[in-house]
Every structure is written in structure tokens, then in C-alpha cells.
Structure 1
Amino acid sequence: MSMSGFFKAFNADQLSAMAEDHSLIDQWIFEEEKYLLETDVENAWHVLAEVLDGDGFHVGEHIEDALSMGCFLVSPEDAAEQAENLANWTHEEIIENLQNLDEGADLYRLDSYKEDEQSLLNEFDKLVKFYSECSKNGFGILHYVA
């Protein structure tokens, strides 16, 4: 089974509630679906995180005791900053970083994306659009891999 990266948007009050009561995370993701927007980057999450130097991924408060593998809660302010960071990346820079990754790097699906660069760019474009929408609406983000 393939692991995918998921991104869900919440307002600031919802994020605060989840930070206080981690049991709300699973409940609001799977049972009540309280998120306001969502996207995923399919199985490109690991390669994108590396190629983008963590932009869009390595941010926020890490919550270990939620979902199957934990998650990150990203404040609306941090989401806006990440939207700006992601918007500054060009497709050319992403491809260059991808091609410069060490073949021996232990990155999930690296070979697949080196062979199909356009698929990686498509997932990147979804991520940029999602962060941009969150920034425009003042939303924070919960992201996780499952």
C-alpha cells in the first residue's frame, strides 16, 4: 500500500482546539470531516519535502499521538509564510534539485519521480495552490502521511 501526504485546512480556533485536545484530530479528520479545504500530494510527499528544503512540510507543531503516524499543526501565520516560500520556487529549480538528489538517498519513490518529473511538478502545483488558498482565507493547516 502506498503512503500519501495529506493536507487539511482549519480555522485558527479549530487548530487551537486540536492542539489542546489531540483526540479531536482523528475525530475531525475521519468522522466529522470538519476541515475546510483539503488536498494531497499522493506519494510525492517525501521527495517534495527534500527537493523543497522542507518548505510546506517541516513546519508547525508536531503531534505524535494522533492519526497513525502523527501530524503537524501549522498556524495561519506559518501557513501564509509557507505559501510565500512555495510561490518562490520555480519548476526549473525543483527539477534541478530533483536531479541532484543522491541516487542512494532513502527517499520514498525517488526513482519514480526522477523518471517522471512532470508528475512531481503536478503534485507541487497542487501544494502551492492549497497553501495559497489557505493564506488568502486565513486558514491553518494540518498535514500528515498515511
Structure 2
Amino acid sequence: MYYLVLPSRCGGSLATEHFAFRPVEFGDFAYAFISAFNECGTLPMLHIAGVGRFIISRDLGVRLLVWLGGQGHARFKLPNLSTLTHLIPLARRIKCSLGVCDFYGDLTLLDLARFRHRLPIEYRVLPTGPTL
């Protein structure tokens, strides 16, 4: 499924603290993109559930911002405890402390669960393994 990522003030089918996600059919992408730009005044990003998030520049070029394929580490604020019931079966490990959780596992499954269950989580993908 394709989603336009907009500021939370613009509204969408799934809203988090900073972003709102509007589903869009690929055939209607140009119309949805232009109408979202007209309504919100900012260029939306494109989010493909389970794949990644892409930035669309002013010259309509597309570049990858975050790749969600495979195993990884993501950090998010826990909105409520019922959110964990959807995420525990998907993770290799989940660590929570003071309302912030670290998810270790398949990021594709995490992203798909977020949209399937309408979980209002906004996560940040963190590097895994050795970094420079």
C-alpha cells in the first residue's frame, strides 16, 4: 500500500505525533500528490508500507530516505500497553524503559503491523552492528 506522509495537522487515516499518513492508489498518485501539496503547503513524502520512505523533491525526483527491509533496530514511544500485544509476536526482542521501546526484529513486519492495526507509533530506525 502507498501512503503520502504529511504533517500531522493535515490529517490522514493514521496520525502520529508528527506525521499523518494518507493512503493513495498508485493510479491516482499524481492527483493525490498535487491535492495534498495544495492543501498542506508542503511536499509530501511517499511511504510504501513494508518497503521504505522516499523523499520527493521539487523537480519530482525520488530518493530513498529509509529502507525497511530485513532485520533491524527501531526506537519508538509507547502510546499504550495494548500496542505491545501486536508487536511482541513480531520481535526477536523488545526492551522498554520509561515509555520508550527498542524493537529488534524484522522492520518490514513492524511497519506492516503499524498500518494493519492502525498503531499510532512513530519510530526511528537505528543503525545495527558496527558503525564508524
> TM-score category by the smaller chain?
under 0.3
Identify which of structures 1 and 2 has the higher relative contact order when contacts are C-alpha pairs closer than 8 Å and 6+ apart: 1
Instruction: Give 1 or 2: higher helix fraction.
Output: 1
Q: TM-score, normalised by structure 1?
A: 0.26
Instruction: Give 1 or 2: higher strand fraction.
Output: 2
